[in-house]
Amino acid sequence: MKILICICQVPDTVTKIVLKDNNSTVEENGTTFIINPYDEWYALVRALELKESGAAESVHIINVGRANVEPVIRKALALGGDEAVRIDADSTDSYSIAYHIADYARDKGYDLILCGKESIDYLNGAVGPMLAELLDIDYIGFATSINIEGNSAVVKREIDGGEETATCNFPLVVSCQKGVAEARIANMRGIMTARTKPLKVVTPTAIAALTTIASYELPPAKAGVKLIDPNQMDELVNLLHTEAKVI
């Protein structure tokens, strides 16, 4: 079984975001980027577990992005991916991303395509289902467990008020969330071997984006903390009512 993992680059949650070009883009200089956690901790790690158990033969990585994303691709290879592909295109439009991945993967014989349930920067959760539609294969979203039984995948996912178990034949696209696997850290051997693993750059087919970013806005600065004397309960109640508006 061949597995393809879709990963994207996102700003680290602890990095300071600076906007430029009339707030239409993020300043990359000084910004720390990481693999989207849902892609890395759950989709990629579960694929590696399946390979280590003998259920999968290979784990390939794919990313839509420019040359600046190659460090995070190398990290995915350091964790255990066998080879990687970077589709040399911008990556802000969900449809374009899904189209480019589908265009590449269509004739490569992948049995299982995994991605995170969403990216932590845009929170769209759109690439997985779009990819499945473009490839005309089945999709299961928000998986908390993925197991292989013969020629089928047994996938559990959370639903309103409970849990659902679905069985689906390959090929299949699954988006992953917490519960699918436990995060792991690349070891020194993985880091060293990642340097020599194949990373192919593919020129994409021209496709018009359906959406463009008009502008970004940073959240408002947090207000200062007010310290209230423990003996001034009336003042505390008044502030909670008139300013915090929680009572």
For the chain, which residues make up each domain, given as ranges? 2-219
Q: Looking at residue 82, what is its pLDDT?
A: 97
Mean pLDDT by 10 residues, the chain (247 residues): 97 91 90 96 97 96 96 96 96 95 97 97 95 98 96 94 95 96 89 93 93 88 82 89 85
Residue identified by tokens 């409970």 is: 162
SS3 string, the chain, reads CEEEEECCEEECCCCCCCEECCCCEECCCCCCEEECHHHHHHHHHHHHHHHHCCCCCEEEEEEECCHHHHHHHHHHHHHCCCEEEEECCCCCCHHHHHHHHHHHHCCCCCCEEEEECCCCCCCCCCHHHHHHHHHCCEEEEEEEEEEEECCEEEEEEEECCEEEEEEEECCEEEEECCCCCCCCCCCHHHHHHHCCCCEEEECCCCCCCCCCCCCCCCCCCCCCCCCCCCCCHHHHHHHHHHCCCCC
pLDDT at 137: 98
Strand partners, 62: 6, 85
* pLDDT at 247 (0 to 100): 84
Q: What is the pLDDT of residue 246?
A: 85
Residue with tokens 């300071």: 16
Residue 236 burial (CB < 10 Å; 0-12/13-18/19+)?
middle
**pLDDT for res 83:** 97
Q: Give domain 2-219's CATH number out of 1.10.357.10, 3.90.180.10, 3.40.50.620, 3.40.640.10.
A: 3.40.50.620
